[in-house]
Structure 1
Amino acid sequence: MLKIKTIYETAENRDGFRILIDNEWPNRISKEKMGINLWIKDIAPSKELNSWFKNNPSKWNEFQEKYLKELHNNKKVIKELKILTKFNKTVTLVHSNEDKKHNSALILLKLLNEPPKQIRTGISRTHGC
């Protein structure tokens, strides 16, 4: 199971494996208080994209598209995250954005929950002939 929490919410045992997905460590919050198991800076939106977005809801749709492009160019990290979700009963993506409707964690959660894509090859599974 994948969940999302902000760093301002209390860490709980039921959060399972907690991953910080921001590119900077949050100010004035200790690692112990956050209960972070892993910090993956490379999964966060670029600083340029965050500076452009500035949590402006009118830019949300375009932000989603741009962030997804960044994620698709970072397939190694996505693959690592998908592996972590398979080996942990619960994974909580932890972020510092206080806006619960417009944040990168929502986009990442949606991407991680997508089923694997089917690849068609044209190779037949029938044997013989």
Structure 2
Amino acid sequence: MASPDVHVARVYDPPASADGERVLVDRLWPRGLAKDAAALDDWCRDVAPSTELRRWYGHDPARFTEFARRYRTELSEPAAAEALATLRTRASRGRLTLLTATKDPAHSQAEVLAHLLRGKD
């Protein structure tokens, strides 16, 4: 069975026809972005890292490995696990683009989620 077609992008980038379903996976709404400009199918706040973890991480790439480990632990909590299950269902239906406002999507919760959804972890 092929792994799900899951991609990561910045929410500030213009939507593309190849995006499939577009889901914002940040806890906070992106600064300066109008809701209609985001062209979202959903905003999945419950799958985002806790405020405490997000602040500890501070988007420092040197902390990414530990951030990813702690974040995967948080994803086992009931609300996050349910949100992750919803994303799995979406990914099973076709292309899914996980959106984040971070400047470095490769070192974000969206990338951790993409790996999980693709069955890489």
Q: Which has the larger radius of gyration?
A: 1
Check whether the contact 2:24–2:42 (CA below 8 A) recurs between aligned residues: yes
Structure with greater contact order relative to length (CA < 8 Å, sep ≥ 6): 2
Identity of aligned residues (%): 28
CA distance in 2, matches of 1:59, 1:71: 18
**Partner of 2:82 in structure 1?**
76
CA distance in 2, matches of 1:9, 1:16: 15
Q: CA deviation at 1:72?
A: 2.0
Gaps of 5+ in 1: 116-129
Count the aligned residue pairs: 114
Gaps of 5+ in 2: none
CA distance in 1, matches of 2:9, 2:86: 20
2:86 corresponds to which letter in structure 1? E
> Which 4+ residue blocks in structure 1 deviate beyond 3 angstroms?
none
**Partner of 1:114 in structure 2?**
119
- Which structure's residues are more often helix, by fraction? 2
Structure 1 length-normalised TM: 0.82
Q: CA deviation at 1:100?
A: 3.3
